[in-house]
Amino acid sequence: MTEADAGATPIRPLVAGNWKMNGLKAALSEALAVDEALAEAGAGVAADVMICPPATMVMVLAELSGMGGLKVGGQDCHINAAGAHTGDVAAEMLADAGASAVIVGHSERRADHGETDRIVHQKVLAAHRAGLTAIVCVGETIGQRQAGLTLDVVARQLAGSIPDNVTAETVVVAYEPVWAIGTGLTPRPEDVAEVHLMIRERLCARFGAEGAGMRILYGGSVKPSNAVELMGIANVNGALVGGASLSAKDFLGIIEAYRD
């Protein structure tokens, strides 16, 4: 079932930048340049725009930006609201710092920190407890793709990572083929379309009208040169951007895909 099949209202896209473990205070000038450009464009940008900086910069970016409607998100959160968890950040802390969303289940967290679908599920609940939108990441490795397991892997991650009773306002799904992140490689448009259609069908089957309205982002080597093509694929409702979001010029080049 596609967005049109479900009779959904048009979905406002989201372009979110994930800075990962990059950026000191001087890098805030890049984020603020994006905010200023959005302010100048006004209603000419038909998408929401977000930057998810390191936790050390969430508060200061939230306080300095907003003139152009730039939203701020976190990159991860702990499942608990407080406690003896040295080095971790609670969803409530991110919300208190000015974040409106948090990325959970990114492939780098799944691989580097052993996060399972169950843990991601708990982090989505934590995000909602704090009033944050959860950007839930799913995606296959190159071995899984070569074995023809892409749809099975992504469907399993969707089922295990997203709790019941979520809405289009509280969950965003980001499909990021692991093998394309930071490599410069991207799937063929028809491959992206196939995965995004399956995700939409699963969301609609499970959540009905809310599933039809959920944003499904594409991530994995999104850059200005391929943004228009990727963002034009059915059921692609924006992008989760890695390295290109560190440069205002490159990030704005991607956002340009949504200029009226």
Average pLDDT across each block of 10 residues of the chain; the chain has 260 residues. List them in order. Answer: 51 98 97 97 96 98 96 98 98 98 97 97 98 98 94 98 97 95 87 98 98 97 95 98 97 95
Own/partner pairs for 114-121, CB < 8 Å, 24+ apart?
A: 116/160, 117/156, 117/157, 117/159, 117/160, 117/161, 118/160, 119/79, 120/157, 120/160, 120/161, 121/160, 121/161, 121/162, 121/163
**What pLDDT score does 227 carry?**
97
Look up tokens 């979520």; give the residue: 166
Q: What are phi and psi of 201, to 5 degrees?
A: -65, -40
**What pLDDT score does 93 carry?**
98
* Helix, strand, or coil (residue 226): helix
Q: What is the DSSP string of 66-92?
A: -TT--EEEES--BSSSSSS-TT--BHH
Domains detected in the chain? 14-258 (3.20.20.70)
User: Measuring CA to CA, which residue among 95, 101, 49 is closest to residue 73?
Assistant: 101
Q: Which of 140, 176, 196, 210 is catalytic?
A: 176
Catalytic residue check, 108: no
Structure letter (DSSP) for residue 137: E
Looking from the CA of 175 toward its CB, the CA atoms found within 13 Å total: 31
Catalytic residue check, 128: no
Length of the chain, in residues: 260
What distance in Å separates the CA atoms of residue 33 and residue 253, rounded to the nearest whole number?
Answer: 13
**What pLDDT score does 4 carry?**
41
**What pLDDT score does 3 carry?**
43
**What pLDDT score does 6 carry?**
42
**What pLDDT score does 186 carry?**
81
**What pLDDT score does 182 carry?**
82
Taking the complete model, does pTM exceed 0.85, yes or no? yes
Q: Which of 78, 106, 128, 196 is catalytic?
A: 106
